[in-house]
Structures are given as C-alpha cells and as structure tokens.
Structure 1
Amino acid sequence: MPMIDIYAAAGTFADPHQVAQDAAIIVKTAEAVPDIPMFRQNTAGFVHELPASNIADAEGASDHVRVQVITNAGALDRDKQLAVVAQLTDLVVAASRNEALRERTWVLLTEATAGGWGLWGHAQTNEELVTAARSEIASLQAKAAGDA
C-alpha cells in the first residue's frame, strides 16, 4: 500500500485533491494488486503545496515537482517502475497544464525495509501483508457466496 507524496509550488495544480487521488490510483494499478478495500483504502496520495520561495534549483528556478513513492520491498519490478515514473510525470504535466514540468519533475521510488511498513498499528513484513490480503479476499468471497 504505497504512500505518494507530491511536492510542488502552491498553485501548480488547480485541483490538488484530484491529483492526490489520481496518483494513488496510478500506483495501485501499476502494482497490480487485487481491488480490495485493504489496497484501495491504504494507497494514498498527498499533495504538499509549498511557497515558490521554498523551492529552488541551482539557478534559482522554482518550477519543479518532486514525487516520492514509498512501497513495500519488491512491490515494483522494473517494468512497473518505468510505468509509474512515466504515468506520474504525465499526471503532473496534465494537472499543471505545464509541459515544461516534464523535464522538471523528479519521481523517487523508495522501498520500505521488511518490517518497516506500518499499517494498522503493526510494522508489517511483506509476508504479513500478503497473508492479510489473502484473508480479506477470502472473507469477501465468503460474504459474496452467502449473499448469492
């Protein structure tokens, strides 16, 4: 269940909430995890709007965006990494209506170490996350069978 942090100058995006949601959907879809509440409700995007004066490159320009995606270890193979970076960059460009940000957007992919992924008040390992997902899927299937 990734966390996506997007840092940009205030006013870069007309609808930061939609950008946050779209970023979460992009990463959840790229991970190809089951579409269950565990993943839908715990993959989240955060847009951090900063004063332009708080952003600068070596020349002093402030029109940059930084996107950091934190996942559990091994969630994104190379193809998924390429897809996430391309799609999040496309999202930034489209949402900002600023094509120049294609060359000024950094996407950082970071993996939490095993046990370094806290969810539900517990430091989860990948194995524990897989077990929890399987349990939720089985519970949803049992409920659906009972409703039929």
Structure 2
Amino acid sequence: MPMIDIYAPAGALANIHEVARRAAEIVKRAERVPDIPLFRTNTAAFVHELPAEAISDAAGASDHVRVQVLTNDGALDRDKQLAVVSELTVLVADASGGRIAADRVWVLLTEAIPGGWGIAGHANTNDDIVAAARAEIAEVSR
C-alpha cells in the first residue's frame, strides 16, 4: 500500500491527476498485490508542484523531479525496484512533454518500519496488512 510523492517544478507535468493515478497504479502493480479495495484505496500518489526557484542542484538547474516511494518493509525485491524506478521515470519524463529529461528524474525507494504504516488510526505491521488483505479476499470470495 505505497504512498508516492512527486515533487516537480510547477507546470512541468501535464494532467497531474492522471500522473498521480498512473504512479499509484505502477507501484501497486509492481508490488503484485491482489487487486482488492484495500490496496486500490490505500495506494496513493501526491503531486507537489513547486516554484522553479524552490528546486536547485549544485549547478543551479531547477529541471529536476523527485519521486519518493514509501512501501511497507520488504515489498519490493530487486526486480520490483528496477521496474518501479524505470516505469516512474518514463511516466514523469513523458508527462513533462520533454521539459524534464529522464536523467533529471530521481526516484527514492524507502520502507516504513514495522508498525509504521498507519491507516484509520492504527499503526500496522506487515502481518496486520497481510491479515487484512486475506480477510478482504475471503469476504469477496463468499
């Protein structure tokens, strides 16, 4: 149930709602979780548009986008990491219409500590999330 934050220069990405939706779908698909409401409604992306002067590398360029993906512990093995970074980079570069080059898209993958995934006021462990998913799958199967 990843959370994705995309930080981009204001106006650099076309249709930011679609970028957010597609980013969430990319990571949900990469995790290979069941397509159930628990994962569809708790995988989300947030696009943060920043003034260009709020972004700079050491050389002074502001044509960068940072994508930070937070997953639960162990959700992405190496193959999944490679896929997520590649697909999110392509998504951002394409959505920029050439304004942001792929080598200017930085993707950071981070993991929540066990118990560090709060939903509906409860700090979930991986076991809690797995149990909730199994219960939802059992309910849907009835």
**Change beyond 3 A, Cα 1:120–1:100:** closer
2:49 equivalent to 1:49: yes
What corresponds to 1:88 in structure 2? Answer: 88
Per-residue deviation, 1:98: 1.6
The amino acid of 1:60's aligned partner reads G
Which amino acid in structure 2 is aligned with residue 116 of structure 1?
A: G
Contact 1:38-1:133 within 8 A present in 2 as well: yes
What number of residue pairs does the alignment pair up?
A: 142
Counterpart of 2:77?
A: 77
Q: Is 2:114 aligned against 1:123? A: no
The CA distance in 1 between the partners of 2:106 and 2:100, in whole Å, is 13
Render the CA deviation track for 1:81-122: whole Å, top value 9, x for unaligned. 000000000001111112752011110000000001111210
Change (3 A) 1:85 1:132: same
TM-score (normalizing by structure 1): 0.94
| SS of aligned partner of 1:71 | strand
- CA separation in 1, counterparts of 2:94 and 2:77? 26
**Does the aligned pair in 1 maintain the 2:63–2:99 contact within 8 Å?**
no
Matched-pair contact (CA < 8 Å) for 2:65–2:100: no
Equivalent residue, structure 2, for 1:6: 6
Does the 8 Å contact 1:65/1:101 carry over to 2? no
Given the two structures, how large is their TM-score scaled by the length of structure 2? 0.98
Residue identity in the other structure for 1:24: A
CA RMSD of superposed structures (Å): 0.9
Identical pairs, percent: 67
CA–CA distance in structure 2, aligned partners of residues 87 and 46 of structure 1: 17
Query: Where in structure 2 are there 5+ consecutive unaligned residues?
Result: none
Cα contact 2:14–2:96 (8 A) shared by 1: yes
One-letter amino acid of the counterpart of residue 107, structure 1: V
Distance in 2 between residues matched to 1:10 and 1:99, nearest whole Å: 11
- Counterpart of 1:29 in structure 2 is 29
Q: What is the letter of the counterpart of residue 54 of structure 1?
A: A
SS class of match (2:101): helix
Larger Rg: 1
